[in-house]
Structure 1
Amino acid sequence: MNKVDAILKDKQFRALSEMIKEKEFDRIFCRHSLGHALSVARIAEIINLEENLGLDKELIYGTALLHDIGRYSKEEKEGMSHHEAGAIVARPIMERAGFTEEEIELMCNAIRKHKKKSDSQGDLSDVLYRADKLSRNCFMCEAKDECYWDENKKNKTIIY
């Protein structure tokens, strides 16, 4: 997984990840750490394998690592959602990592759409959305009473 390793070594990715970590240090709600991104990647790959979807593992991991990278970016500060901002911020990282233009389009589309359930069952957007939600341990969250998520969106079990 050379491209994924390239993302992890990318200076901009590392700087943005560190900034997210610092900004969310005392956040009581779900954080958007590297640990979260890796959980999303692993769950997405499990979905891919269990449902026999045939998605490329490197695309899954690359997209998952970058899906929240737009948080606290200048684009988000200018009023853009972190989903939209993430696709913009992630593109040059993907390019430097060696993803093709076609792969980048798929990955950016999934990042943009990870806020809501996809209409296309089994595509990268759908798998990223589901894995992102399943990665949240709402059933054990200390901030569950203050959480702004709709009750229907909360992950109340470890099994999906």
Structure 2
Amino acid sequence: MKRVELLINDSLYNEYMRRIEEEEREAKFCHHDFHHHLDVSRIAYILVLEHNDLKYFIKECGLTGKLAAKEVIYAAGLLHDIGKWKEYKAGVDHAVYGSRLARDILPRAFFNPNEVDIICRAIYEHRNISKDMSFLGERLHRADNLSRNCSECEYRSQCTKVKNKEISVSTLEY
């Protein structure tokens, strides 16, 4: 996955990851670090594979094959929270802002315009489930929720995701 490696080594990606780390230095829970991004990527890919949806995803999105599909899924997972630092700083929606940031990073890793659109739409959609969301947006949303073991977290009572019921038993069902 050469393009994913290029993405991970990209200077802009690393700058935004550094900003997230800086903003979360004092946070006790739900860090949006590289491990979280990689977990979301892997879980999203597993969800697609477990439901035998890879061929469907390739055809629906006009992708060139399995490797391109895997790279698109991983890129979406690795970038889904890239705008989180701006949410901390200015209160903007990190999904909306992150989708804009991703549009600058993805071409640098040789993702084509179609792939950029697919990834950025999924990033934009990942916060809230809806009936109109894209295939990848829905998988990314589920993967993001599944990546956190909130029921075991000692800081659960302080968590806004738990308070807003974005994490529930129903989100763990797939």
Structure 1 residues 45 and 2, CA, compared in 2 at 3 Å: closer, same or farther?
same
Structure 1 residues 113 and 36, CA, compared in 2 at 3 Å: closer, same or farther?
same
Task: Write the distance in 2 (CA, Å) between the matches of 1:25 and 1:155.
Answer: 27
Structure 1 residues 72 and 152, CA, compared in 2 at 3 Å: closer, same or farther?
closer
Residue 51 of structure 1 deviates from its aligned partner by 0.6
Map 1:8-157; keep pairs closer than 5 Å: 8-54=8-54, 55=57, 56-73=69-86, 77=89, 79-119=91-131, 123-149=135-161, 150=163, 152-155=165-168
Residues 137, 155 of structure 1: 8 Å contact kept: no
Residue 110 of structure 1 deviates from its aligned partner by 0.5
In the alignment of these two chains, the number of paired residues is 158
Residue 77 of structure 1 deviates from its aligned partner by 4.7
- Secondary structure of 1:145 counterpart: helix
Residues 125, 133 of structure 2: 8 Å contact kept: no
Task: Write the distance in 1 (CA, Å) between the matches of 2:46 and 2:132.
Answer: 18
- Secondary structure of 1:26 counterpart: coil
TM-score of the pair, normalised by structure 1: 0.89
Deviations 1:83-134 (A, max 9, x none): 1100111111101001110110111100011111142588101100000011
The aligned amino acid for 1:134 is L
User: CA RMSD of the aligned region, Å?
Assistant: 2.1
Deviations 1:33-70 (A, max 9, x none): 10000000111111010011114111110010001101
Task: Write the distance in 2 (CA, Å) between the matches of 1:109 and 1:23.
Answer: 25
- Aligned-pair identity in percent equals 37
- Secondary structure of 2:84 counterpart: coil
Residues 53, 122 of structure 1: 8 Å contact kept: no
Task: Write the distance in 2 (CA, Å) between the matches of 1:121 and 1:7.
Answer: 25
Structure 1 residues 44 and 119, CA, compared in 2 at 3 Å: closer, same or farther?
same
Structure 1 residues 95 and 76, CA, compared in 2 at 3 Å: closer, same or farther?
farther
Structure 1 residues 111 and 122, CA, compared in 2 at 3 Å: closer, same or farther?
closer
Residue 80 of structure 1 deviates from its aligned partner by 2.9
